[in-house]
Amino acid sequence: MKKIIIIVLILLVGFIFYYKYYRPISPNPLITEEYRSSKAYVNDLYKSDEYFKKHVLKEEYYYLYEAILDSSLNYTYDVNIPCTKDCIKQFSTSYEILTLDHPELISFTGFGGYQYNNNIISYQNYANLSKTKVYFGTKRIAIELDNIKKETAGMNDQEKIIYTYNYIASHNYDDFFTYTRSNQSAYSFFTKGRSVCAGFAKASQLIFQAIGINSYLVMSSNHMWNYVEYNGKWYIFDATYGASYRDKTSQYYYDGLGNTTVNNPSILYKEYYPKIESKKLKDIFNL
């Protein structure tokens, strides 16, 4: 009898592991073999058009952006990049726009203070997850995105946006570990059920592409959120509000579908975004 129980438990654990990480899913149709062979490819969770790289950086500085991306994918902790004085500012810019372009990048959440000597920028890469955690975390996120695609398959765009807002808001805002690096990617959101604004915004970006909603990541000096397209116009989507006021009866719960940040002067690269409507989505949706 004891052997039977052990066998049953092993099979059950195996089934759960398979369902959680390895069951068949519908692939992201945007991830083609051509894209996989490009410099922009990180994983199959998301196809980046590297919009900010193309619009913010001059082509002569692409190598900075690509060096940061390459070092994060290869777990290179101590990085040295050739850089003359005129490109020091472009180094910080490259990090910021890499964050905006690649929400699927869960192995990298920043870098230590850099030093500049003899035309070389040296910095320490913050790769907060092991290769094993990145591998299984990516698998887990892919499964969850597939679940969301199935749940939203029959919805219109309004329903999809509201669904995504409620889905993000159903997760915990991590008050205790607010400033840890592990909370700055979609990893903690999808695998631990808690995160902070950066994790919420990046998770939202992954979801929106998976379900066919156009969106951008947006960053200020101390916050991150999204812009979403609805009926050809662009609106604010900030699900951190919902996660912070988890009770849907709260007057603040759906304020993340509002215009609270349209005139925020600290928005980075504001000039590269489409015009944002001042009317609130929460009002358009009668929420």
- In this structure, the answer to whether residues 109 and 151 fall within a common structural domain is no
- In this structure, the answer to whether residues 177 and 243 fall within a common structural domain is yes
169 in a domain, yes or no?
Answer: yes
Q: What is the pLDDT of residue 181?
A: 60
**Please, are residues 68 and 95 in contact by the beta-carbon 8 Å criterion?**
yes
- In this structure, the answer to whether residues 75 and 190 fall within a common structural domain is no
CA distances from 183 to 26, 108, 180 (A): 27, 11, 6
Backbone CA torsion sign across 112, 113, 114, 117: negative
**Please, are residues 244 and 174 in contact by the beta-carbon 8 Å criterion?**
no
CA 170 to chain centre: 17
Q: Residue 105: which domain range?
A: 46-124
- In this structure, the answer to whether residues 184 and 278 fall within a common structural domain is yes
- In this structure, the answer to whether residues 236 and 105 fall within a common structural domain is no
- In this structure, the answer to whether residues 116 and 159 fall within a common structural domain is no
Residue among 232, 166, 158, 250 at smallest CA distance from 200: 166
- The set of residues, in sequence order, having a beta carbon less than 8 Å from that of 127 and lying 6+ positions away, is 72, 75, 77, 107, 108
For 248-282, the DSSP string reads TTSTTGGGGGS-TTTT-TT-TTGGGSPPBPSS-HH
Record the tokens describing residue 88, joined without a space: 């020091």
- The set of residues, in sequence order, having a beta carbon less than 8 Å from that of 256 and lying 6+ positions away, is 165, 169, 225, 236, 237, 238, 239, 240, 241, 242
- In this structure, the answer to whether residues 84 and 163 fall within a common structural domain is no
Record the tokens describing residue 183, joined without a space: 């909370």
Q: What is the pLDDT of residue 48?
A: 97
The three-class DSSP label of residue 236 is: strand
184 in a domain, yes or no?
Answer: yes
- In this structure, the answer to whether residues 58 and 146 fall within a common structural domain is no
Count of Cβ atoms closer than 10 Å to residue 170 Cβ: 12
Count of Cβ atoms closer than 10 Å to residue 106 Cβ: 31
**CATH number for the domain that contains residue 250:** 3.10.620
- In this structure, the answer to whether residues 81 and 203 fall within a common structural domain is no
Domains: count for the chain = 2
Q: In a structure prediction context, what are the per-residue pLDDT tens digits for the chain, which is 287 residues long? A: 666 666 556 555 555 555 566 677 888 999 999 999 999 999 999 999 999 999 999 999 999 999 989 988 888 778 888 887 778 888 889 989 999 999 999 987 677 777 888 888 888 877 667 888 898 899 999 999 999 999 999 999 999 999 999 999 998 777 555 455 667 889 889 988 878 889 999 999 999 999 999 999 999 988 999 999 999 999 999 999 888 888 888 888 999 998 767 667 789 999 999 999 988 999 999 99
- In this structure, the answer to whether residues 147 and 226 fall within a common structural domain is yes
92 in a domain, yes or no?
Answer: yes
Distance CA 203, CA 183 (A): 11
Q: Cα-flanking dihedrals φ and ψ of residue 229, to 5°?
A: -95, 130
- In this structure, the answer to whether residues 150 and 269 fall within a common structural domain is yes
- Full 3-state SS string of 148-192: HHHHCCCCCHHHHHHHHHHHHHCCEECCCCCCCHHHHCHHHHHHH
Record the tokens describing residue 285, joined without a space: 């949706």
- In this structure, the answer to whether residues 97 and 198 fall within a common structural domain is no
- Helices and strands in the chain, H and E counts: 11, 8
Q: Cα-flanking dihedrals φ and ψ of residue 167, to 5°?
A: -65, -45
The three-class DSSP label of residue 233 is: strand
Q: What is the pLDDT of residue 83?
A: 83
